[in-house]
Chains A and B, each alone.
Chain A
């Protein structure tokens, strides 16, 4: 008489022999194992935002970690938690990635104290990306508000690395006040070296600011847009991109040529926990990059 059940172990195959196909059905089972990385540099951007340069320590893991502009990683601060952060660096940089992190909650408040040499974990990359190849041959309008410049920096890098493939490139950036502007040290390079038409504006006048003041839509007066040959990427707070996308829609840019990157609370990044749902759409798997038509079809308010 035998009634004993034998234990069935799963996933005994070694991890990381092949790139995990995070956006298709994954053959890699260990979805919760992080890539260990080291902070190799910290740039203090504002009093709330820091830019972390992270290098994946294992060579094989570093080699197989590939992402596209617009994608994000789950950043693990061991002991404290995991947060979704969009990648701010060039997808060509195979040495390290750059993550711009605002101090906003428990995990990020600890992360902001971390020093160079600290070891963190990342999982990913996750989510959809901007269709950079599709945009080749056209003009591009990159519009960011506030922290929105962080996810926009990856497509900006892409454009600068393939500058000859695109016609006019405009970057319109608005912030609350001059102290909150991100990546100010790169503006000159973008303008002078990369031939990008960068226009900035702040809502509140601040010390030493002699630029424009007002809402981001003010900047549209200074650019000429050919709607039939322009793509737009918009990142920023919901109020802003509703306003901006409406305006661009009015100009006649087709909805499927406008892209936005949405933000939600994510816990898993894998379309399981449902924390980031907007209506019946997963921000982590179906997004974070959506075209404007998909955004209009979302059931809940963005």
Chain B
């Protein structure tokens, strides 16, 4: 960046996990071909998946997972207080994710079903934004590493972050796929934010909306289309609830 006279400082970054599978964190540690370059921009001070160091001094906090216990709220509040930029990373952090399904049932039943005799303390699942202020959402299940990388680069150099506003269909058509809806399945691609490269529809599986709503998505029209194709209301509802990504935004 010297060609612009800008000398970006290494930013201190901490990666933290809450209720989730840590799959997003693994994504970051995974892509070996760019891992070293990625790390050259950063000083990782707290990232359990790749280092045993743990310092509480960081500029950016990448937060993975949703919130489902009291002690998590305390930890998250503390992270927020220390971080200059707090990023919710992944569908769980942004929307509640698959964990959110639990909120459909009475807590008592959930604990019994999952833990049997060994009951644990747990509460209703919350999104990160339900607990603290979130500066930036990076959606996806899991997140796309290249998207996280480009966002981190943007933060490091102080450029505005860019994330697609249009739906998955664009990328799906660019992969020259056959439309999954035409194959008789439910696909949320038309209302879901692109950026994933349409991996699921490319594998002939309907999109479940892990990246949340595209901008100005037309929920009403998609519902009508799916109903006309013979999918029942409850089936459509089930897909829309999968990641809780469309909560409160889909009129019937």
Name A's B-contacting residues (CB within 8 A): 39, 77-80, 105-107, 109-110, 113-120
| A118 in contact with B4 (CB, 8 Å) | yes
- Among B141-165, those with CB < 8 Å from A are 154, 157-162
Contact (Cβ within 8 A) A114 B6: yes
Q: Given B4, B160, B162, which contacts A115 in the complex, CB threshold below 8 Å? A: B4
Interface readout for B1-44 with A: 1 if CB under 8 Å, 0 if not? 10111100000000000000000000000000000000000000
Query: For residue B4, which residues in chain A have a CB less than 8 angstroms away from its CB?
Result: 77-78, 110, 113-115, 118-120
Please name the residue on chain B nearest to A113 by beta carbon: B6
The chain B residue with its CB closest to the CB of A115 is: B5
CB-defined contacts of A79 to chain B, threshold 8 Å: 1
Query: CB-CB < 8 A to A109: which residues of B?
Result: 158-160
Q: Chain B residues with Cβ under 8 A from A78's Cβ?
A: 3-4
CB proximity of A285 to chain B, nearest CB, Å: 26
**Residues of A contacting B6 in the complex (Cβ-Cβ under 8 angstroms):** 110, 113-115, 118
Question: Is the CB–CB distance between B159 and A116 below 8 Å?
Answer: no
Task: Return chain B residues, CB-CB under 8 Å to A117.
Answer: 5
B22 CB to closest chain A CB (Å) equals 31
Q: Is the CB of A105 within 8 A of B3?
A: no
Instruction: Tell me if B158 and A110 are in contact (CB < 8 A).
Output: yes
Across the interface, which residues of B come within 8 angstroms of A77, CB to CB? 4
16 of the cross-chain contacts (CB-CB < 8 Å) are A78-B3, A106-B154, A106-B159, A106-B162, A107-B159, A109-B160, A110-B158, A110-B159, A113-B4, A113-B5, A113-B6, A114-B4, A114-B6, A115-B4, A115-B5, A117-B5
User: Of all chain A residues, which has the CB nearest B153?
Assistant: A79
The residue from A105, A106, A116 contacting B5, defined by CB atoms under 8 A apart:
A116
Most buried by A among B3, B4, B6, B162: B4
Instruction: Check if A106 sits within 8 Å of B3, measured CB to CB.
Output: no
The answer to whether A106 and B160 touch across the interface, beta carbons within 8 angstroms, is yes
Q: How far, in whole Å, are A120 and B6 apart by their CA atoms in the complex? A: 13
B160 touches A119 (CB 8 A): no
Complex Cα distance A118/B161, Å? Answer: 22
A76 to chain B, nearest CB (A): 11
Return chain B residues, CB-CB under 8 Å to A107: 159
Which residues on B sit within 8 Å (CB–CB) of A110?
A: 4, 6, 157-159
